[in-house]
Structure 1
């Protein structure tokens, strides 16, 4: 406890905790919708797209890679939605096609135009995360806070419409709900969350933040509201625990958070079995 109090005296540790909690909260909210819409894999696909965009930003020489990564990821999220509705290219095939292509292009560019002498280290850091969450600047923290607030506000304001689109999109469209616009909004929010979460857990582990809390909450509760609230609580607790453990044990932040999510999922399964 004394060691933890000592670490909390440093601003960069507080920054990491704030950003980690906000990212976990936003991921859990949209995760429930993605799981129920059977579109869980989109998080993994978009994270690969973000990896490719970051590689392009590194080749171009941008200091702030988010300037390029965020718009490219949003565009691909919208394209995934449109191609997913196409009868010729189903949703899962479109995700696989775009994600694998972006991953390959990104890795190829990093090898052809290396931005440093340690390409393997750069790739590993981007894919699996690093301690970059502990080196966030004040401007990056402010940007993460602003984007997270926007995501939460949009989710609260459109909660009823998201509920309708999630459970019965055909009926919602029949009664006049603009389902296409709502789906585009969901895709845009997901893209923002993915780009923010990459600094925390890396591109290959982003899906864990989106999927595990929602699945854990579903082991205990059945209503949409209860699952959403429980998912947010579990995600925030796991993010806090993971970051603190990674600092104390000197382990990778991303993988530590994912392991805590797995532990929470197992606990929720046991609780669900006890409750019947």
Structure 2
């Protein structure tokens, strides 16, 4: 156990995991409250397309995935405006496009499919210094923007119409939240994988909403729960030689089940 904790690859994995464990629920709570939980899955699929293209043209895959995710976030907001009464259509359309592009790039670059698979299922133990710097940079941006626009995000999450009437630049705020989500998702996929990244955005928030009594406390609690799952999941994966991303997510689901059972026990 001590050997694992002292190894460089595990320490980098721990740093990356802790950073994503902070930013994912911080953005996730605004998505959940605005009923946009599935946007994480959409952006993760688009990110994989960018990663695949990165391998194909030999550029840093995570950077290519980040660019694709940010572009997709702009497209989602444009489509949401075009289909105001059917906003979920934007998510379905962009997800379909992301899957199609990823499939196309997979076909064009058969030789790197194994590398891309690590982004699908997570490869936290292969994080290098560049990855850590990118995750760290995104973490700083997310925290700074959330602190700066906390009141605006709060109002937007609970009553978008009231926010618009009060003079809040709703379109810009929506765009900022979606772009921040793209940044978090694109940097998280190497840690938990594109197929599981949505869990980090939503499950800690789902647990905190059952336990917290205020919006601020729900944010704090969701971050704490996320960090417990990330650190605990990494420890379990390291000791028992398990898939880290899957272990983190299954631990989150276990915490959710325990919370639901506990709440039912208290209310009956």
Q: Do the structures match in fold with TM over 0.5?
A: yes
Q: 1:212 aligns with which of 203, 209, 214?
A: 203
Q: 1:230 aligns with which of 208, 221, 226?
A: 221
Question: Would you say how many aligned residue pairs link Structure 1 and Structure 2?
Answer: 267
Q: 1:41 aligns with which of 18, 38, 44?
A: 38
Distance (whole Å) between structure 2 residues aligned to residue 67 and residue 99 of structure 1: 19
- 266-275 or 15-24, which moves further after superposition? 266-275
> Is residue 201 from structure 1 mapped to residue 198 from structure 2 by the alignment?
no
Distance (whole Å) between structure 1 residues aligned to residue 28 and residue 102 of structure 2: 26
Match of 2:71 in 1: 75
Q: Secondary structure at the match of 2:111?
A: coil
Match of 1:113 in 2: 109
Asked if 1 retains the 8 angstrom alpha-carbon contact of 2:124 and 2:245, the reply is no
Q: Which runs of 5+ in 2 are unaligned?
A: none
Q: Residues 266 and 139 from structure 1, CA distance in 2 versus in 1: closer, same or farther, beyond 3 angstroms?
A: same
Distance (whole Å) between structure 1 residues aligned to residue 157 and residue 54 of structure 2: 35
Asked if 2 retains the 8 angstrom alpha-carbon contact of 1:107 and 1:123, the reply is no
TM-score by length of 1: 0.91
- 22-31 or 103-112, which moves further after superposition? 103-112
Q: Report how far residue 158 of structure 1 moved.
A: 1.2
> Is residue 104 from structure 1 mapped to residue 100 from structure 2 by the alignment?
yes
Asked if 1 retains the 8 angstrom alpha-carbon contact of 2:73 and 2:182, the reply is yes
Distance (whole Å) between structure 2 residues aligned to residue 219 and residue 227 of structure 1: 9
Distance (whole Å) between structure 2 residues aligned to residue 126 and residue 138 of structure 1: 17
Q: Report how far residue 175 of structure 1 moved.
A: 1.4
Q: Report how far residue 160 of structure 1 moved.
A: 0.9
TM-score by length of 2: 0.94
Q: Runs ≥4 in structure 1, deviation > 4 angstroms? A: none
Asked if 2 retains the 8 angstrom alpha-carbon contact of 1:217 and 1:231, the reply is yes
Asked if 2 retains the 8 angstrom alpha-carbon contact of 1:47 and 1:198, the reply is yes
RMSD between superposed Cα atoms in Å: 1.6
Q: Report how far residue 147 of structure 1 moved.
A: 1.6
Match of 1:59 in 2: 56
Match of 1:28 in 2: 25
Q: 1:84 aligns with which of 80, 84, 88?
A: 80
Q: Report how far residue 108 of structure 1 moved.
A: 2.4
